Each structure stands twice: as structure tokens, then as C-alpha cells.
Structure 1
């Protein structure tokens, strides 16, 4: 179901989504190594949503879900993102899925589960979307905060994986405004289940 929007650009939508997701209960554990980090990590949760493009030329974010799968040792959080959005204003086949959004409780790289999930979604929705005369590749985004203020966490950046190019990126906010992009590496899929990461 629709959560919030609309936005004219996906950049505006991403910047609006970051504080909304990180401000959810237990969405961030603060800086790794900080006092009480281990407790914060144990109770942390992942939230996820779709950022999608509508037939009226706007970007919207779906409602957040916190349904999660945890490993047996409770070491990892994995939000379960539904395959599609139920937006009653538009026919189901008319929505274009652009970004799978979620939070990481601390500044940690995208996980194996993150990479596999967005590849599975790409097989369903396609790898590149034609949106208002431009091509936008499907990707997964994980927002993070380095703030120990859990009530008002800052949006310090996000990790991104773009399956069609294989790029793993990290975006961080700069003091003077704007975002700095760093390419961390490239993911190469050897077959449907195996891949390697070539770090930069």
C-alpha cells in the first residue's frame, strides 16, 4: 500500500525516505563499538519498502513492513519485502519498481541476502525501468546512521547495489550538503546462485 509521496524525482524520494525509515523504533543501533551497542543490536529491527514510479509520473514509497527473517543464531536481521505493492489508485501492472529500500542498524555493507533478494526481484520486475523518458536501473538501498541519538538519528548515508551494472556503492552525506559517491566493488554472477565481489 502507498506510504508517502508523491515526489518528482527519485533523489528527492530517497532523501525523504531515509529519515522516515531510520526513525522507526529500533531501526538503528548507533555506532559499532559505542556503549550499549550490543544491547541495541540485539533489539534492532529492519524496515523495508518499495520506492516505485506511478503512471502519473511521480515517485511514491510503499508502507513500511518490519516482517523479518532471522538466522538461527540471531546474528542478522533481514526484512521480508513483498514482491509487489497494492496501490488501489493504479492497476497492478502499471507500477514500475525502482528501489528496494531498507535500513541497516549500523554502517554495514550489503549482505548476501540483500544481493540475492534484489536479483530475484529483477527477474520479476525487470532490470531497467523507462521512467518519464529516462532509464533508471533497479537497485537495493540500505540506509544507515552513525548517530548514538536513537530518538533522532541522522541520515549519514546508504549502501547501494545495482544488479544491471554490478556496482556496489556507498553514498555519504557531506558537511556542505550533497552526497559523495564511492564505488566499493563489482559483483559478478557466475551462475544463478554463485557470485564473486571484486573490491576496488
Structure 2
């Protein structure tokens, strides 16, 4: 008679969940493939040039780009053999390139998207789509036109900017409650904070 170990079931259920988490992370974060390819090409190209020059030197042939001995002597004489302006500009350029690669490596590189929990699959919504839905609800609650509402969505914050119609005050608390309710309906993760800003100057009714 076959025995079933109940402790194995959670592990089997956890495996697909981990797989979905990895796929979702790929959809929510920008790829570093382009930066990796550029860095690899630069390093590989430099290594190939050095290898070629060393090989030509070893077999007694004329160098291709620069004599390794001359290059070593030039590096040894730095910074006295280079004008200060060129040396400073080169240093700033190298610093900028290094900073770009460093930030690419350490920053999360999040894309403007949010995850929506689903048992059937992976659901990711663009922030623009979420902002459009929130703007529609805010516009209806404030009784204003499309041009009078601007909604921006980031990972942890939703900003709603309203320009009321002249002579028709806007209930800021009502608009915030409606927007928060719409966020709960969308079930995005993480749920961002909502801030509503009502302009002090109104516009002519449209």
C-alpha cells in the first residue's frame, strides 16, 4: 500500500508559485542584457587587441595599432605627457561610463507596472492603464471634464491633480475615497498611497 507524505504537498505547490514570482519579477524590472552585452563587447574587444599585439610582437611582426612597449611607456609617463584639459575630460568620461554601469548593476530598474494577484496566471498592468481608470473615477466624482484631471501612478504613490470648474467646488475627501476604492478594486500590489491636489484656480465650465 502506497503511503502519501503530506509534507510533500506544500513543496509541490510552492514550486509553481516560485516560478510565477520569477516571471513576474522579469515583467516588473527592466532587463540588464543590453548593458551586459555592451560591457562584454568592450572588454572582449580590448582583450583581443592586446592579445593580437602581443602575438605580433612575439613572432617579430610589426604591430597593428600600437607597439605594446610604447603603450606601456606612455602609461608610465602619465599624467605628464597629456594636456590637463584632455586628461580631465577623459577622466570625467570614464567616470560617467563607470557610473552608468554601476547604477545599472545596483538599481532595481523597475518598469512602470504593477502586479495584480491571480491564481490562474500572471497579470501585470501598466501604470498608464491604472492611471486612466483612476482618472475616470476621479472625473466622475468631481464632475469635471477629462482635461481637468491628471493622474500619475508610481510604485508607492498616486497623485491626482484636479482643476475645478469655476463656481463648482470639489470635495477633495470624496475624490480621494473614490480613487482609493478603485485601487482596492484593481487589487494591485503594492497598494500605493493616494494624494489629491485641488487647484486653487478654476477653469471656465466646458
Which of the five TM-score ranges fits, normalised by the shorter chain?
under 0.3
Using structure 1 for the length normalisation, give the TM-score. 0.25
Higher strand fraction (1 or 2): 1
Mark the structure with the bigger radius of gyration: 2
Higher helix fraction (1 or 2): 2
Using structure 2 for the length normalisation, give the TM-score. 0.24
